[in-house]
Amino acid sequence: MNHILLKTQNLCKYFVSRRWRFLNLKPEVIAVKAVDQCNLDVKQGEILAIVGESGSGKTTLGQCISRIIDPTAGKIWFGDRDITNIQGKELKELRQEIQMVFQDPGSSLNPRHCIEDIIALPMKIHFNLFGKKLKERVKELMSMVELPIELISRYPHALSGGQKQRVGIARALSLNPKLLVLDEPTSALDVSVQAKILHLLKSLQNKLGLTYIMITHNLSIVKNFSNRVVVMYLGRILEMASTNELFSFPLHPYTQALLSATPVIKEEEKKFIPSEIILEGEIPSPINTPKTCAFLSRCKVKKSSCFDRYDLKLIEVKPGHWTQCPHISN
Amino acid sequence: MKKEPLLKASGITVSFYTIDGTSRVLNNVRLEINEGEVVGLVGETGSGKSVMAKLILGILPIPPARVISGEILFKGYDLLKASPDKREVLKEKMAYIPQDPTASLNPVFPIGTIFIDSIIWKQSGRSKSKFFLNRYIKKNRKEAAELAISLLKRVEIADPDKILYKYPFQLSGGMRQRVLLAMALIGSPELLIADEPTTALDVTIQKRILQLLQQKVKEENLSSLYITHDLGVARLLCDRIYVMYAGTIMESGDTKSLLENPYHPYTKGLIRAIPKLTGEDFDGIPGQAPNYLEFPPGCRFQARCLEKISLCARKEPELIEVEIGRFIACHHYQAR
């Protein structure tokens, strides 16, 4: 049995702001619930995919997990350690365990640093490496991500999108992390480059025994890349299952709609798609969301009883298949 | 008897003159759009898709670009040789949906102002003096607002009269794209050029917009050129697909046969590169996107091609009809 590497307990991230209205004595409190009561666990050596539309809080969850932003409530466990509120030296040590690869390879690299400096900076800070040793390590990392060594003194603008993303991966790998949070690593790339980056990530995982949290909105990538899937909507987790299970038996109506909207190329792929479901409207605003089911406003199969169910929890319907639909849990 | 196509481009070659040198961005492109047909133009970033669209619309900056050769026949008139006045008249029959709905609506004006202005601009025959005169007549503005509301209703926007008073930032991405689609329908165009209209949207909204587009194309009897890099989207929407690489049309044919049975190594590679729901193996195309400044002689895809033969480095392949409706530019296939 794989042991659990990372676990979140009722993780919340609210962005609170106050708005003063004319002649009001008290400010109006606006809470954007970007991540709301998320429970998930990541096993050692697996690839966990987080899917959802834009605005569903995927990136915020990823950033909370890697402690780039501080969660509002809840707990994050890394191994046996509670990392929710660690600061200073402890946090610096945690950075060696969890690293992140960002979405836009163009803007996540400093345009004034050359590739060598970009990859070397984390090692200078954490390992106190300098001089020849550092350069050797940079070269080793570059060959690991299949970047030509000639690029070592180039600047990011001279690189293609795929090469920039490889630099981002090399930088993340430089501290030998255990967990890598990949925030839409291929959404800015062309399909032919995307396939190469995904293969690289997979081979690196096999070689180094990494664990990935992959944030994406592309279900075809999820199907080919990940072991388990978490479906998010409006800051909440609606469904969680292993990839094969989710694609063969999607339970939540939102997952079904998401699957049916995936554009496919070949005729054989159509049998993986449930019947045509078209969602009306768009993802509602995450400001002061109700405590009922998050998907209620766009759900096609809702019943009147759905409106009375508050504080829904993820329920294990089958072994390993969790869902939050009030229907199914009845 | 076969009907003349609505738009027929042949032998289009466009070069960009820059400090670094001359780059031939479009190379002998042939493109046909029949009436009532949705044609897809598929290719990776930097393959010249948008340049083609801008050339047809007449908004390509010339210079730095220069048209070396070729002609675009639109309803029997050559767009590249037509006088500026004639060009303006022909432009009215074309509509354009841009890629990024956020960047193409002016953030300092409400939707209504943008919408009414473009209606009055079209009504006054695209002449500036008439436009500024007509704009300050209240009756014109009122009529234009009514037309705007009816157009917004046609793209299924709920309470359109309120939308007119909203600013672009108050609308969601899908809404903005609908507004732009409604604006494209002003003056009942015959050709709709859509430049990746759904790239910035989520899959669920993308599907909805695509269906709307399909429905409008049928209802309004439009022909459409749909530019995309997503073969899945092209499959949903298009009747025929042109596959473009480095400014050259590599393969064309009707959607179903092209996707199920691709002939050209580039099309094959492109289809293989996309992860599929069946869990099939996928793999990228080796090599990198081409540098337009220094193309070697011969086929433009040869450096990344897996099936190249010796002829590829010497002679540029021509686009030849191999089956009815299937065109391909590849020595390897033609030699077989």
* H or E stretch covering A181: strand A179-183
Q: How far apart are the first and last CA of chain A?
A: 31
The proportion of chain A whose per-residue pLDDT surpasses 90, expressed as a percent, equals 22
CB contacts of B269 in chain A (<8 Å) are 192
Q: How many angstroms separate the CA atoms of B38 and A138, rounded? A: 50
Report in angstroms the alpha-carbon separations of A179 from A12, A160, A183.
21, 26, 13
Domain regions of chain A by residue span: 4-97+211-323
Cβ-Cβ contacts under 8 Å for A329 (sequence gap 6 or more)? A312, A315, A317, A323
Q: CB-based contacts of B70: which residues, under 8 Å, 6+ apart?
A: B9, B10, B11, B12, B13, B28, B29, B80
Q: pLDDT by residue (tens digit) across A288-322? A: 777 788 888 888 887 777 787 777 788 888 888 88
Which tens digits make up the pLDDT trace of B139-174? 888 888 998 998 888 887 878 888 889 898 888 878
**Sole residue written with tokens 């670094």:** B20
For residues B299 and B318, what is the distance between their CA atoms, to the nearest angstrom? Answer: 9
Residues of B in contact with A279 (CB under 8 A): 204-205, 208
The pLDDT of residue A172 is 92
Of B175, B205, B276, the CB nearest to A269: B276
Q: What ipTM does the predicted assembly reach? A: 0.80
Q: Using an 8 Å Cβ cutoff, are B293 and B23 in contact? A: yes
Listing from the earlier edge strand, what are the strands of the sheet with A98-101? A98-101, A179-183, A211-216, A47-51, A228-233, A236-242, A321-323, A315-318
The minimal CB distance from A282 to the residues B203, B205, B283 is found for: B205
Residues B204, A53: C-beta atoms closer than 8 Å: yes
At which residue do the structure tokens 């999820």 appear? A222
Q: What is the pTM of this model?
A: 0.85
Confidence class of residue A330 from pLDDT cuts 50, 70 and 90?
Answer: low
Q: Any idea which residue has 């400001």 for tokens?
A: A287
Q: Closest residue of A to B233, CA-based?
A: A263
Q: Does B158 touch chain A (CB under 8 A)?
A: no
CB contact under 8 A, B277 and A267: no
Q: What is the mean pLDDT of residues A38-55?
A: 88
Q: How confident is the model at residue A84 (pLDDT cuts 50, 70, 90)?
A: confident
Q: Give the model's pLDDT for residue B134.
A: 85
Positive or negative torsion for Cα A194, B285, B278, A280: positive
Q: How many CB atoms lie within 10 A of CB B39?
A: 24
Average pLDDT over chain A, rounded to whole?
86
Helix, strand, or coil (residue B77): strand
Q: Does A287 touch chain B (CB under 8 A)?
A: no
What pLDDT does residue B2 have? 61
Q: Is B163 left (phi over 0), alpha (psi -120 to 50) or beta?
A: alpha
Tell me, what's the pLDDT at B1?
46
The residue among A63 and B282 whose pLDDT is bigger is A63
Residues of chain B scoring pLDDT < 50? 1
Average pLDDT over residues A24-30: 83
The residue of B202, B206, B270, B271 whose CB has the most chain A CBs within 10 angstroms, and thus the best one to mutate to test that interface, is B202
Q: What backbone phi and psi angles, to 5 degrees, belong to A152?
A: -60, -30
What is the end-to-end Cα distance of chain B in Å, rounded? 33
DSSP B225-236: EEEES-HHHHHH
The architecture that CATH gives domain A4-97+211-323 is 3-Layer(aba) Sandwich (3.40)
Torsion of CA A119, A124, A125, A128, to 10 degrees: 150
- Contact at CB, A279 and B204, closer than 8 angstroms: yes
Percent of chain A's residues with pLDDT above 70: 98
B44 touches chain A (CB under 8 A): yes
CB B142: neighbour CB atoms within 10 A?
A: 11
pLDDT tens by residue, B97-115? 888 888 888 899 999 899 8
Cis peptide before B286 (omega within 30 of 0): no
DSSP code of B290? P
Q: Quickly tell me which residue has 């480059």 as its tokens.
A: A193
SS3 A16: strand
- Residue in A191, A218, A278 nearest the CB of B207: A278
